[in-house]
Amino acid sequence: MSIVHVEIEPKTQEGLLGSSVEIYCHANVSQFKWKVMYLDFKNTTSTQRLISLMHNESSKVIGDMLNATLIRSDVVVNISFVWHILDKSMVCLVDGEYSCHIEFFDDAIQTTSDQGTLTVSGMAF
């Protein structure tokens, strides 16, 4: 049985209103063909899938708030997710736990993932 672990970095970080934070997700996929990687979010009130990046996409943007960029996609898949913390209304949307998940074309490959946290405070400007 094959198991692939997805790591998230940094494990903890603080973001300021008006700034941007970057979250990296990477997995050593070896020779396996990956299908999609997701960035998920969880806080005390909700759990949601924020963005997904397919194996054949190089980047994806959601408005002016969040973007995903494929940095590397060979033996190691490395994706950068950037949050733009624009105003106070976004605090409840970004303050919480994050995790990355990956799917493969071969459903027999199992995955595990770790979590990171983002805390938002203050003003950057």
List the one residue out of 14, 32, 30 whose CA is nearest residue 22: 14
Amino acid identity for residue 125 in this structure: F
The residue segments making up the domain with residue 87 are 3-118
123 within a domain of the structure (yes/no) = no
pTM: 0.85
**78-102 pLDDT, tens digit each:** 999 998 888 776 666 678 899 999 9
Q: Is residue 124 part of a domain?
A: no
| pLDDT tens sequence across 34-61 | 999 999 999 888 888 989 999 999 999 9
Domain count, the chain: 1
Asked if residue 1 has pLDDT above 80, the reply is no
Please tell me the distance from the alpha carbon of residue 9 to that of residue 46, in angstroms, as a whole number: 22
Q: Is residue 13 part of a domain?
A: yes
Highest mean pLDDT among 5-9, 19-23, 69-73, 83-87: 5-9
Across the chain, where does the E strand assignment appear?
3-9, 12-17, 20-28, 34-42, 47-54, 59-62, 66-73, 76-84, 96-104, 110-113, 115-123
- Residue 125 falls within a domain, yes or no? no
